[in-house]
Amino acid sequence: MRLVRWRGEDLLARLDDVIAVYGEAMGYSVQLLQTRRGYVAGHTRRESFQAVATLDDEDNLLGFGYGYRGTSGQWWHDQVRNALRREHRKYWLSNCFELVELHVRPHAQGHGIGARQLHDLLTNAPQQTALLSTPEAPEDTSRAWRLYRRFGFVDVLRHFNFPGDDRPFAVLGRQLPL
């Protein structure tokens, strides 16, 4: 198993695999996954885009993660900005690495893949803060929550509803560098 850094074109070349891992990890329907293809492809052109992938010995994708510099005019950034109190906007959003996706195939979870991917992404992010959103879940049973807490992520927003999704989300953040 090996961790590799991807450019946008590398991710696009493996977009079918990326969407499959995303769907397995999140339990999303095939219809929803098809709409995500365009979003993911568009993200590869964002400022400071970076991605990592974990591949097995046969080059099968076990996990991936990516992010970029969040700026005004981006949907997620603007949703979070509008929900934050004024005094938190400047701190969290003025020079922020947005961790957009971090996923590992369910059968490969629990082996440190997500932690290695997250460490690499955060270590190479030149921004002052990192933000992510994740579905609300019990912290003691959710691998994602335990991972983010281990990496020092703190609550920025809790029980936040993004338009178009009925699930409550948490927005978590941490100062950079690691």
Q: Which residues are catalytic?
A: 148
Q: What is the DSSP string of 38-90?
A: HHHHHHTTSTT-EEEEEE-TT--EEEEEEEEEE-TTSHHHHHHHHHS-HHHHH
Separation of CA 68 from chain center? 10
Q: What is the DSSP string of 128-156?
A: SEEEEEEE---TTT-HHHHHHHHTT-EEE
Question: For residue 98, with 0-12 CB atoms within 10 Å meaning exposed, 13-18 middle and 19 or more buried, which class applies?
Answer: buried
The CA R_g of the chain, rounded to the nearest whole Å, is 15
Rounded Cα–Cα distance for residues 108 and 25 (Å): 10
